Amino acid sequence: MFYVSVFFQYMAQYMKTKWQYRADLLIEWLSDFMAQAVNLVFLLVVFGHTTLLHGWSRDEMLFIYGFFLVPYAVFGAFFNLWDFNERYIVQGEMDRVLTRPVHSLFQIILERMELESLLGAVPGLIIMLYAGSRLSLSFHWYDVFVFILLVIGGALIYAGIFISLATISFFADARTSIMPMMYNISSYGRYPVDIYHRVIRYILTWVLPFAFVGVYPASYFLHKQEWYGYAFLTPVVGMLFFIIAVMLWSAGVRRYRGTGS
Amino acid sequence: MGKYVEMIRIRFLMMLAYRTNYYTGILIYAINISAYYFLWSAIYGGKSSMQGMSLGQMTTYVAISWLARAFYFNNLDREIAMEIRDGKIATELIRPYSYLGMKAVQGVGEGLFRLFFLSLPGLLVVSLFLPLEFPEHAKTWLSFGLSLLFSFIIFSELNLLAGVVTFFTFRNEGLLRAKRFIIDLFSGLILPLSFYPDWAQQLMAYMPFQAISYIPSMIITESFQGAAVRDGLLLQAAWCVLLWFPIVLLWRVAKKRLVVQGG
C-alpha cells in the first residue's frame, strides 16, 4: 500500500514539472515519432524492392513492428535508466536514494519515469490496425488479454536487460557505452528470426531475448502456429529476466561504496 | 597546437581506461554486422543485384558504414548543451584555447579510439566468416580515407552547430535527438540512398547528410567509379566549408548574449 501511495505522489509531481516545459514536451513527442519513422521508412523502402522477406510479407513485417512499439513504449515510460551511471553513480545521487526507506530500484524508476513515452504506443496500435486489416486477421474476445500479457512480458524483458546493464556501474567504475549499442541489437528481434544464422537466433532467443519483444509474440496474432510455443513463453521469459535483474541489482547495491562526490 | 594534440591523447587514454566497454564493444559490433548481413541476404532473396549493388557489396557497404560511424560519431552537441546548462561554460570560456576547437579535438580523440580499438578489430572478426569485398586499388583506399575525414568534419560541424544553438534555447534535448534520427535516415547509414524513391533522392541531394555516410561507403564498395568519386569528394569538401559559416556567426552572437545559469 505504501508503495502505491508513493507511486501516485511521484506521479502528481511529475505532471506538474512536465507541464512547466510544454514546448520541450512537444518536441520530445516529435522526436519519438521520428525515431519510429526511421525503422518504418526502412521497412517501406525495402519492400519497395522486394515482395517477400523469407516468406514474410510487407504487412506481416509492419504488424510485427507495430506490436513491438507497444511494449517498447511501456519500457520507455518506466525504465529510463539511460544515464543511470552518469547521474546516480558519478554525480553521487545514489547516496541520497539509499538513505530513503523505499527500495532503491523502485525509487529510481519513479524519479526517472517518462510517462509521455506511453504515447509511442499509439503509432504502434495504428500500424497494427492498418496491417491487421490488410491481412484480414481475425481475433477472439480473449485476445485483448493475451495482448496485454504479451506486452507486459516484452516490457519486462527490456527492463531486465537494461537494469542488468545499469548494475554494471556498481561493479566496474566504468562509463558504459554499452547501452546505446544494445539499442541497436534490440532492433533485430523485430525481424523474423528464421532469417538469421542459428547462433544469432540463439542469442536473440535465450541470451538477449529481444525476439520475445517482437517477432515471437506478434506471431500469435499473425496465426503463425509454428511459433506459438515461443509466443506463450514471452511472459515467462520476461518474469525470469526481470527477477534476475533485480537480484543482480541487490547484489550491486550491497557492493556499492559511493564516489564521495 | 601542442595543447590540442595533448587533448587528443588524453581523450584517447580516457577511452582506453574502460576495458569492459572495449571487449563488449567489439562483440556487439560483430553481432550488429552479421545480423545486417542475414537481413540483407533475406532482402536479396537470391537476386544477384539490387540497384546495381551485389549482396557482397551491400554487406561491405553496411559493415563500412558502421565502421565509419564509429569514427565520425561523437556527442559534442550534448556535451556543449550540458556545459551550458551546468554553467561550466563560464570557466571554459576564460581558458586559453578556442572552446569549439578544443571540443572538435576531443571528438578526434574519441573517434580515433573507436576506429582503431573497436570497429577495426570488430571488422576483422566479422571478415573471418562473412563474405566482405574489399577493394584492391590503393587509390580507392586513399579516396576513402579522405572521404572519411570529410565525414568527420561535417558530422562534427553539425554537432557544434546544434550545441551552439543551445545558447539560445537552453533546453533542446528533443531537438538533439531529432537531429540524430534525421542523420541516421538521410546519411545512408541504414540504407544506400539509391534505394529511396526518386523524389526523396532529389530532396536529399540538397542536404549535407549524404556526405556523412553514403559517399564514403559508396567509394569503398567501388559503387562509385572515376568521376563519381571526384564529385563525391568535392561535394563533401563544399559542405565542410559551407557549414563553417553559420557556426562562426552564431558563436559570435552567442558569446555576447551568454547567460550563465548558475553553476
The DSSP result for B122-155, as a single string, is HHHHHHHHS-------HHHHHHHHHHHHHHHHHH
Domain enclosing residue A105, as ranges: 1-255
Domain membership flag for residue A261 = no
Tell me if A158 sits within 8 A of A120, measured CB to CB: no
Domain membership flag for residue A164 = yes
Is A49 in the B-facing interface, judged by CB distances under 8 Å?
yes
* A176: confidence class by pLDDT, cuts 50, 70, 90: low
Q: Does the pLDDT at position A261 exceed 60?
A: no
For residue A22, the chain B residue with the least C-alpha distance is B171
Is A28 in the B-facing interface, judged by CB distances under 8 Å?
yes
Phi, psi of B189 (to 5 degrees): -70, -50
Q: What is the mean pLDDT of each run of 10 residues along chain B (263 residues)?
A: 82 76 79 87 87 89 89 88 81 84 88 85 87 88 94 94 82 79 87 91 91 93 90 95 93 79 52
Residue partners of A187: CB distance under 8 A and separation at least 6? A39, A210
Domain membership flag for residue A138 = yes
* Bridge pairing between strands B49-50 and B53-54: antiparallel
Q: In chain B, what's the furthest Cα-to-Cα distance? A: 62
Of B45, B174, B178, the CB nearest to A50: B45
Domain membership flag for residue A199 = yes
Domain membership flag for residue A260 = no
Is A178 in the B-facing interface, judged by CB distances under 8 Å?
yes
Tell me if B80 sits within 8 A of B231, measured CB to CB: no
Rank A25-34, A186-195, A212-221, B173-182 by mean pLDDT and report only the highest: A212-221
DSSP string of chain A?
Answer: -HHHHHHHHHHHHHHHHHHHTHHHHHHHHHHHHHHHHHHHHHHHHHTTT-SEETTEEHHHHHHHHHHHHHHHHHHHHH---TTHIIIIIIT-HHHHHHTSSS-HHHHHHHHT--GGGGGGHHHHHHHHHHHHHHTT----TTHHHHHHHHHHHHHHHHHHHHHHHHHHHHHS-----HHHHHHHHHGGGGS-GGGS-HHHHHIIIIIS-GGGGTHHHHHHHTT-GGGHHHHHHHHHHHHHHHHHHHHHHHHHHHH------
Q: Which of A24-28, A111-115, A250-254, B84-88 has the lowest mean pLDDT?
A: A24-28
Q: Do A34 and B25 touch (CB under 8 A)?
A: no
Q: Which residues 74-103 in chain A show a CB within 8 A of chain B?
A: none
* A229: confidence class by pLDDT, cuts 50, 70, 90: very high
Domain membership flag for residue A186 = yes
* A174: confidence class by pLDDT, cuts 50, 70, 90: low
Rank A33-42, A51-60, A162-171, B228-237 by mean pLDDT and report only the highest: B228-237
What is residue B53's three-state secondary structure?
A: strand
Q: How many domains does chain A have?
A: 1
Residue A231 grid coordinates: 509466443
C-alpha R_g of chain A: 19
- Cα–Cα nearest to B122, from B34, B234, B181, B199: B34
Q: Do B182 and A53 touch (CB under 8 A)?
A: no
> Given this model, what pLDDT does residue A260 score?
54
* A64: confidence class by pLDDT, cuts 50, 70, 90: very high
Q: Which of A109-118, A171-180, A250-259, B104-113 has the lowest mean pLDDT?
A: A171-180
CA A29/CA A114 separation, integer angstroms: 11
CA B200/CA A43 separation, integer angstroms: 15
- Cα–Cα nearest to A79, from A45, A40, A115, A55: A115
Q: Which residues 178-197 in chain B show a CB within 8 A of chain A?
A: 178, 181-182, 184-185, 190-191, 195-197
Of B182, B185, B195, the CB nearest to A49: B195
CA A237/CA A242 separation, integer angstroms: 8
Is A22 in the B-facing interface, judged by CB distances under 8 Å?
no
Class of residue B2 by CB neighbours under 10 A (exposed 0-12, middle 13-18, buried 19+): exposed
Domain membership flag for residue A35 = yes
Domain membership flag for residue A33 = yes
> Given this model, what pLDDT does residue A25 score?
74
> Given this model, what pLDDT does residue A161 score?
93
DSSP type of residue B209 = G
> Given this model, what pLDDT does residue A177 score?
65
Best of A17, A20, A36, A50 to disrupt the B interface (most B CBs within 10 Å) is A50
Best of A41, A165, A198, A199 to disrupt the B interface (most B CBs within 10 Å) is A41
pLDDT tens digit string along A95-145? 888 888 888 889 888 888 888 888 889 999 999 999 999 999 888 899 999
Location of C-alpha cell 491481412: A135
CA A134/CA A189 separation, integer angstroms: 23
Q: Do B24 and A178 touch (CB under 8 A)?
A: yes
Q: Do A181 and B182 touch (CB under 8 A)?
A: no
Rank A147-151, A170-174, B191-195, B199-203 by mean pLDDT and report only the highest: A147-151
pLDDT tens digit string along A156-169? 999 999 999 888 88
> B137 vs chain A: nearest CA distance in angstroms?
31
> Given this model, what pLDDT does residue A238 score?
96
Is A34 in the B-facing interface, judged by CB distances under 8 Å?
yes
Rank A73-77, A178-182, B80-84 by mean pLDDT and report only the highest: A73-77
Tell me if B201 sits within 8 A of B147, measured CB to CB: no
